[in-house]
Structure 1
Amino acid sequence: MKTMTYISASPKEVHVLDYGLFKVHANKRVIGICGFLIRSSAGENILIDTGFPRKYAYDIAASSAEDRLGDFGEVLELTERNLPEAQLALAGITATDVDLLIMTHTHIDHVGGIADFPGCPILMSGAERALDRPLYWGSVQPLTWPDREYLLIDADTEIGPGIRIFHVPGHAPGQLAIEVDLPETGTVLITSDAISRPAEIEEKFAGSWNVAQARENGARLMSRATERNAFVIYGHSPEQWPTLRKAPYAYT
């Protein structure tokens, strides 16, 4: 594992951020759209993912039509309270307090607010940053890369004491997962969409951008979780989402 120090102190808490609810047409499952805030013992703030674009908070129907999202599913719940700044406020900080933005990948429900944190460096996979535009949704790619400092990784990387980023392509070319060591909870493994839900393992990651890589890296993450006795937070698990401790509460 590579070591690149972007965060100076060990993590003290993880907040789960509620970016709204989405219904997948194919199997009718209702999934939470999540982000995360990691706070270090030195007061550093790491935001993971940014949810849907801001426009959805003001007009879901028009935004979905513009993005042709109805081909895949339906945004059920997304208001101003589900935007990153409102979720960060629940955790006691503002958008300007974010020291590092981690993009696990650039699909529409993760990348929407990528440009909303001026001056904040963005850590992501070099494979995804090399694309002409963020992935967004299907052939719809309206976003451009914001002018930021990009911290690009292409392998598993420890970015500070107790914070490890796993480079796990499969769901997307630059998919990342994050492992955090907390004082009380112990190790937390945030799989993001590398494993959207436990059933995806049984389904052998059908429909992934690269099925073989998704299966290989999904197995690697679950092996890691077993090895570290980690609490796993999946990317979009309908069963797990209601049980998660969400901001203003935190895992410590």
Structure 2
Amino acid sequence: MGNQRGLGLYMQPLLHGRPARLAILDYGLFQVHEDGRIIGICGYLIQTTAGENILIDSGFPAKYGANSAAATDEDALAGFGQVLSLGKSNLAPAQLAQLGLARSDINLMIQSHTHIDHVGFMGGFPGVPIVIAAAERALPRPVYWSGKLTMEWPEAKYIELESDTRLGPGFDALLVPGHAPGQLAFALELPQTGPVVLTSDAISRPSELESDFTGAWDADLARHHANRLMTQAHNDKAMVIFGHCPEQWPKLRKAPEWYD
């Protein structure tokens, strides 16, 4: 199917309603070998006032829910870390079911980037348009993990972003490359919670702001855009939800609870 390019803040919005509530999806726990930190793997479901359901990221591939040890061996992921907890209940369909939603209820899917813990069910929503940064979609295949490039691009209508983009009223996708070539973050405003910034992996955890962004695709860009996101969050007095923060993860509400 065709791609749509060249979108920006002044495009015709893809969504009709404003964000009404936000759910955090629990895609499992992972331990990073480098420093032993234990991180939550998260996705997001945003529901709008028009009844639209937007899925941001889809967690690990289904094979990890069936046998995480065998899947880790197959992907040679053990060099980076290990899955601590990831069952079928942590896969995208089961997490959506906790919210009373089926795959057919999703109106729009967004990939913040294409690393293995974010892209596993990207092909699992036939007919649903996928919003993704043009720089990410330009890769021969999704990044997946460690240059293996084992995953093909699923057949879909891709809406490719080349700049910050207003997806709908009160909901922006922010192009923040650094961690990945086409990393996206998100700014939205909820009725009760107020402004929220979802950094995704542009800032995995607050301590990363004091580091050199080791392992980033482009550390200088990562630092630049991380500072930009934190400045925006400060100016907007926004709640910040980081991509993989060990301290924040246990405190966040998870599906079936909502932020509204």
1:207 to partner: Cα distance: 2.1
Selected match of 2:15 from 3, 7, 22: 7
Offset, 1:166? 0.3
* Corresponding residue number in structure 2 for 1:138: 146
Counterpart in the other structure of 1:169 = 177
Give the structure 2 partner of residue 54 of structure 1. Answer: 62
- Measured after TM superposition, the shift of residue 61 of structure 1 is 1.0
How far 1:141 moved relative to its partner? Answer: 1.5
34, 42, 55: which one pairs with 2:42? 34
Equivalent residue for 2:120?
Answer: 112
Q: Quote the residue 2:237 is aligned against.
A: 229
User: 1:54-80 CA deviation, whole Å, 9 max, x = no partner?
Assistant: 000011111000000000000011111
Q: Residue type matched to 2:209 in 1? A: I
Which AA in structure 1 matches 2:119?
Answer: V
Find 2:52's aligned residue among 39, 44, 52. Answer: 44
CA separation in 1, counterparts of 2:9 and 2:212? 29
Choose from 33, 46, 63 the match for 2:71: 63
Contact 1:155/1:167 (<8 A) preserved: yes
- State the AA in 2 paired with 1:137: W
Unaligned runs of 5+ in 1: none
Matched residue type, 1:238: P
SS in 2 for 1:2: coil
Task: Check conservation: 1:3, 1:159, Cα contact below 8 A.
Answer: no
Distance in 1 (alpha carbons) for counterparts of 2:215 and 2:64? 26
* Residues 210-235 of structure 1 deviation map (CA, whole Å, 9 limit, x = unaligned): 01100000000000000100000000
Count of residues in correspondence between the two structures: 252
CA deviation profile, 1:18-61 (whole Å, cap 9, x unmatched):
00000000100000000000000111000000000000001111
**Which of 100, 104, 107 is the equivalent residue of 1:96?**
104
Partner residue, 2:91: 83
Q: What are the Cα deviations for residues 130-180 of structure 1, in whole angstroms up to 9, with x where unaligned?
A: 000000000211111111000010111111000000000000000000111
SS of the residue corresponding to residue 179 of structure 1 reads strand
Moved more, 206-215 or 24-33: 206-215
Tell me which stretches of 4 or more aligned residues in structure 1 moved more than 2 Å.
none
Distance, in Å, in 2 between the alignment partners of 1:204 and 1:64 is: 28
* Structure 2 unaligned residues grouped into runs of 5+: 1-7
Aligned-pair CA distance for 1:3:
2.8
Within the candidate set 216, 221, 241, 1:213 is matched to 221
Q: Which of 239, 245, 258 pairs up with 1:250?
A: 258
How far apart are the structure 1 equivalents of 2:98 and 2:14? 25
Mapping of 1:131-210 within 5 angstroms? Answer: 131-210=139-218
**Partner Cα separation in structure 2 for residue 227 and residue 92 of structure 1:** 35
RMSD: 0.7
Which of 19, 25, 29 is matched with 1:21 structurally?
Answer: 29
Higher alpha-carbon deviation: 55-64 or 201-210: 201-210
**TM-score for the superposition, normalised by structure 1:** 0.99
SS of alignment partner, residue 39 of structure 2? strand
Asked if the contact 1:46/1:98 (under 8 Å) is kept, the reply is: yes
Q: How far apart, CA to CA, are the structure 2 residues paired with 1:3 and 1:214?
A: 25
The structural deviation recorded for 1:91 is 1.2
